[in-house]
A and B are shown apart, each in its own frame.
Chain A
Amino acid sequence: GAVVSQHPSRVICKSGTSVKIECRSLDFQATTMFWYRQFPKQSLMLMATSNEGSKATYEQGVEKDKFLINHASLTLSTLTVTSAHPEDSSFYICSVYSGVGYEQYFGPGTRLTVT
């Protein structure tokens, strides 16, 4: 499957600061990437679909002005959590659509803790 990296793997920040998370597709060009969030003991929830060269598509209930997504190249998408608050503390995971059988491959995730 596709190799996907994320950076950073873990971040702790103070309330009110912004945090940028990078997602890279290392071995193929990804027109579409997905951003998910997972709270403890809950399932992954799709936040947005990131499309190269155009605006991201956000799921209902996800604030686009708070979670800024930039998919500037075929190998990189970034998610910026602006003015983070403790309730934003979660496991953020990106995925890449493989283009084969609708399978998605996931990055290792970024664990965000807002104090």
Chain B
Amino acid sequence: RKEVEQDPGPFNVPEGATVAFNCTYSNSASQSFFWYRQDCRKEPKLLMSVYSSGNEDGRFTAQLNRASQYISLLIRDSKLSDSATYLCVVNVGISNFGNEKLTFGTGTRLTIIP
């Protein structure tokens, strides 16, 4: 089983629609969770951290279900600029210097259609 699994998509969604992505992780000891977005041939950029209570940032809402080891991202009122690959990222283990090592899912590709 992969450490972090995502539906690769692609998701082709009309502008203004709501879209949801899911992600599952295998290590029950994971503590930190993130969503990054990656544009074609660019570096990943942090979209938002995911907190146990769930959190919202504008049109974006992230949820965490520890019991099911499941993370979600909801995008409301989608814009053309939301087209990107969305990466689910989970911490796995602790490096020698106490910093967390991150494991990335393969990403879900989203295309917003005008």
Contacts and interface: CB of A to CB of B under 8 A. Distances in A.
B103 to A, nearest CB: 8
B97 A93 contact: no
B106 A51 contact: no
B96 A101 contact: no
Query: What band does the interface of chain A fall in when counting residues whose beta carbon is under 8 Å from B?
Result: 20 to 34
A93 B104 CA distance: 13
Interface string B38-77: 0001111110010000000000000000000000000000
Interface in B84-114: 87, 91, 95-97, 99-107
A61 interface: no
A4 B34 CA distance: 19
Contact of B43 (A46, A103, A107): A107
Given A46-B102, A46-B103, A101-B32, 17 more contacts: A1-B46, A31-B97, A32-B95, A41-B106, A43-B4, A43-B87, A43-B106, A49-B96, A49-B99, A102-B91, A102-B99, A102-B100, A104-B46, A106-B44, A106-B45, A107-B43, A111-B41
Interface of A: 1, 31-32, 34, 41-46, 49, 51, 57, 91, 93, 97, 101-109, 111
Interface of B: 4, 32, 34, 41-46, 49, 87, 91, 95-97, 99-107
